[in-house]
Amino acid sequence: MAPLVVLVAVTGLTRLAGWLHLADWLDSWPHAARLGVAAMFTLTATAHFAPPLRNQLIAMVPPRLPSPTALVTLTGILEFAGAAALLIPRPPPQQPPAWHSYCSPCSPPTSTPPTPR
């Protein structure tokens, strides 16, 4: 339940900060949601390293998997990495090359069947 509360609270607060023009780049739902999910990942990743929760996570690993302690540590590190990756801005979408707009009308469509003779 705590991760859901963090997700909703951080997303709502960052969206409110954008709406109040405290930070212009927060003035969209996708940016606010990315910060909310990053905060949620950070919260859940800390459970992989906090002693009472860590022991419970290790106990949940199926016995057929090797080294439960290492797997819990690895997944915690990966959650921290996922949270950090969400904070990296995405590059804008790339446009097709200029030759694409020239060659497309010149080439015959490939989806039409050949005409019978």
pLDDT of residue 114: 61
d(CA 56, CA 47): 10
pLDDT of residue 59: 93
What are the helix (H) ranges across 61-97? 68-86
* Cα 110 to Cα 101, 105, 113, 114, distances in angstroms: 17, 12, 8, 9
pLDDT of residue 56: 93
pLDDT of residue 20: 86
pLDDT of residue 102: 55
pLDDT of residue 38: 95
What own/partner pairs with CB < 8 Å and gap ≥ 24 does 84-88 have?
84/38, 86/34, 86/35, 86/37, 86/38, 86/41, 87/34, 87/35, 87/38
Residue numbers of the chain with a pLDDT score lower than 50: none
3-state secondary structure of 35: helix
Neighbours of 13 (CB within 10 A): 15
Q: What is the pTM of this model?
A: 0.71
pLDDT of residue 117: 66
User: For 27-55, b where at least 16 C-beta lie within 10 A, e where not — what string?
Assistant: beeebbbbbbbbbbbbbbbebbeeeeebe
